Structure 1
Amino acid sequence: MPYAMRHSPTGTLLACVQRNGYKLAYYGLLLWENDPSPAQMSEGLAEAGIEPKDPAGNLADWEPLMLSEHDAKMANVKLRNDPARVVAYRDGVIVASHL
């Protein structure tokens, strides 16, 4: 099962622009196959353009979250490849909204 990063205060899942196997850019959840280490989580925040001075930049506010394959896919569907959208995981439900 994949792991994502969840912002504890808001439930927001970390997403950013990435490259697929064909080198095409897409906007989706940043996922790991195993529980990410603090160093990997810090790199993930940097990759998403979140700096330590940003409101969501405190690494202590982020936690690894194990998702089912279905939930990971649904979160990416709800993002619609649109950086203006965010997804959150609250009470076992994935919700999407615009920034």
Structure 2
Amino acid sequence: MPYVLKKKENAQIFTMFMKNSYGLEYYGTPSWENRKELEGNWTEILTQLGIREGQWEIVEVDQSQVRLFNVKLNNDPRKRLYMDIATGKSFTELS
């Protein structure tokens, strides 16, 4: 099961520009398959992503949720993605 980063204060899911397997850039949700590797490189990963430590936490989600996150973002960097941890439902807002 993949892991994503969720902001502690408002349940925002971390999103960024990435490249797909064809080298095309898109706006989506980065995910990691290995929690131990993510935790072991936590500070380095946060630094690379340009986010501050302490604001974000690791959350396990289904692979189908990661796909749905990217569909809901619709490659639009103006959108912010949020997830209700209790229900697993996600929604976006324009920033």
Answer yes or no: same fold by TM over 0.5. Answer: yes
Matched, 1:39 2:41: yes
**Offset at 1:39?**
3.0
Partner of 1:11: 11
Give the alignment's Cα RMSD to 1 decimal: 1.8
Partner of 2:91: 95
Partner of 1:84: 78
Identity %: 26
Identify unmatched segments of 5+ residues in structure 2: none
Partner of 2:67: 73
Q: SS in structure 2 opposite 1:60?
A: coil
1:19–1:26 contact (8 Å) kept in structure 2:
yes
Partner of 1:54: none
Give me the TM-score of the superposition, normalised by structure 1. Answer: 0.80
Q: Size of the alignment, in residue pairs?
A: 91
**Offset at 1:87?**
0.7
Q: 1:18 to 1:44 in 2, by over 3 A?
A: farther
Q: 1:9 to 1:38 in 2, by over 3 A?
A: farther
Measure the CA separation in 2 of the matches of 1:10 and 1:42.
Answer: 23
